Amino acid sequence: MMNTADHSLAMLDYALRRRFSFFTMKPGFNTPGFQAYQDSLKSDAFNKLIACVKQLNSKIAEDISLGEGFCIGHSYFCGLTPETANTQTLSSIVEYELIPLLKEYWFDEPAKIVDWSDRLRSAVK
């Protein structure tokens, strides 16, 4: 599988596109399975973070330089249990996975990085 965000070398990208089929997969935050998983965690911090990521995804999708292919997927949040869906684990996801991704996306727009970093951090407090 190749994420839209993984495009790097144009010639290699074209070669791959000629040889493979593509299927668009959107983040599954609104699927019944993820919603049941979210409910099972019984975590206010998790719920706030997911709501924030959904808002962030709307902005990413609207961004002319990014678009829907750059939206943050639900896989960052899978595999948690009620015991591990805590502030420490969620803060680690924000700090070491999501914020570095935003720094790549908006490397030339530091105000967006600061704004969304603050929002994500606030969601897990």
Residues 80, 122, 57: CA angle, nearest 5 degrees: 70
Task: Spell out the residues 6+ positions from residue 49 whose beta carbon is closer than 8 angstroms to its own.
Answer: 77, 90, 93, 94, 120, 123, 124
Among residues of the chain, what percentage have pLDDT more than 90? 78
Q: Please give the C-alpha separations between residue 16 and each of 19, 20, 85, in angstroms, as whole numbers.
A: 5, 6, 38
Mean predicted lDDT score pLDDT of the chain: 91
CB atoms within 10 A of CB 105: 19
What pLDDT digit, counting tens, does each position of 28-70 carry? 999 999 999 999 999 999 999 999 999 999 999 999 999 999 9
How many angstroms separate the CA atoms of 52 and 62, rounded? Answer: 16
